[in-house]
Amino acid sequence: MSKKTKYKRILLKLSGEALGGKGQFGLDVSAAEYIAKEVKDAYSLGAEVAIVIGGGNIIRGEKLSKIGVDRPTADSMGMLGTVINALALQNALEKIGLFTRVMSSLTITEVAEPFIRRRAVRHLEKKRIVIFAGGTGSPYFSTDTAASLRASEISADVILKATNVRGIYEADPKVKKDAKFFSEINPMEMVKRGLRVMDLTAITLAMENKIPIVVFDAFRKGNLKKLLLGKKIGSEIKVSA
């Protein structure tokens, strides 16, 4: 493990809305550039960085399935949205001098490498930033589950789930100003309280592989770097308890 960082290898989970900017829909180039700079600051500490990105700013399979598109087709459309976001983020990262690879669970060899676990690990060892697109490649699974799956496969030390609030609250803090904040919480407590920070499949998979999850505000400049330096930022889901 690097002497400078708390974690040697991280899996950063970004929602598609993170690339949608303030409107959270479509593609905001400035949002991609902001995220790229935050990743570069963290990467400069010596950590190996993998990223799983969602596609909600482009299209949401779950919503499509509610208006008549059959769920497998809707989810496939959503997975394609993640590929668009992965390429946008790759472009932003490479513009500031970082070496990247996009690996997709869907076969789209013209724009992305197929996901092969050993190859992904080798890219990380060579200090390339790996962006995982296409979710799990199967319908009915969220990109949160894809994050837990890929983190398990590459033996990540932590899953860092980026949000636009401080961390985990008992209710939306933008609606309920006095909502209780949790600096630490275990999965059973989350279920009991009905907190839908990550889906149960994602959390269960992380629990089984003892990978901690930290939920943090990615839009407070410097937070990602501070996390790698071991500072207490956001909320930790105590999956190993």
Q: What is the pLDDT of residues 118-152, one digit of tens each?
A: 999 999 999 999 999 999 999 999 999 999 999 99
Q: What is the pLDDT of residue 22?
A: 72
Q: What is the pLDDT of residue 61?
A: 73
Is 1 part of a structural domain of the chain?
Answer: no
Is 62 part of a structural domain of the chain?
Answer: yes
Domain that holds residue 118: 9-165+198-237
pLDDT band with cut points at 50, 70 and 90 for residue 92: very high
Identify the CA nearest to 49 among candidates 108, 94, 99.
99
Strand, coil or helix: 116:
coil
Q: Answer whether residue 155 shows pLDDT above 50.
A: yes
Strand, coil or helix: 85:
helix
Is 170 part of a structural domain of the chain?
Answer: no
Residue linked to tokens 């398990």: 152
Total tally of structural domains belonging to the chain = 1
Q: What is the pLDDT of residue 63?
A: 77
Q: What is the pLDDT of residue 2?
A: 45
How are the residues of the chain apportioned to helix, strand and coil, as percentages rounded to the nearest 5?
Answer: 40, 20, 40
What are residue 14's DSSP bridge partners? Answer: 53
Average pLDDT over residues 231-236: 96
d(CA 13, CA 218): 10
What average pLDDT does the chain have? Answer: 92
Is 18 part of a structural domain of the chain?
Answer: yes
Give tens-digit pLDDT for 191-219. Answer: 889 898 899 999 999 999 999 999 999 99
Is 4 part of a structural domain of the chain?
Answer: no
Report DSSP letters for 1-64, one per residue. --SS-S-SEEEEEE-GGGGSGGGTSS--HHHHHHHHHHHHHHHTTT-EEEEEE--TTT--HHHH
Cβ(147)–Cβ(13) below 8 Å: yes
d(CA 148, CA 78): 18
Q: Answer whether residue 240 shows pLDDT above 90.
A: no
Is 79 part of a structural domain of the chain?
Answer: yes
Q: Answer whether residue 156 shows pLDDT above 80.
A: yes
pLDDT band with cut points at 50, 70 and 90 for residue 179: very high
pLDDT band with cut points at 50, 70 and 90 for residue 1: very low
Query: Strand 235-237 vs strand 158-163: parallel, antiparallel, or unpaired?
Result: unpaired
Report the first-to-last Cα separation within the chain, whole angstroms.
Answer: 23
Q: Answer whether residue 107 shows pLDDT above 80.
A: yes
Q: What is the pLDDT of residue 228?
A: 96
CATH of the domain at 103: 3.40.1160.10
The HSE-up count of residue 95 (CA atoms within 13 Å, CB side) is 14
Global pTM reads 0.93
Q: What is the pLDDT of residue 3?
A: 53
Is 105 part of a structural domain of the chain?
Answer: yes
d(CA 47, CA 38): 13
Is 193 part of a structural domain of the chain?
Answer: no
Query: Strand 100-104 vs strand 113-114: parallel, antiparallel, or unpaired?
Result: parallel
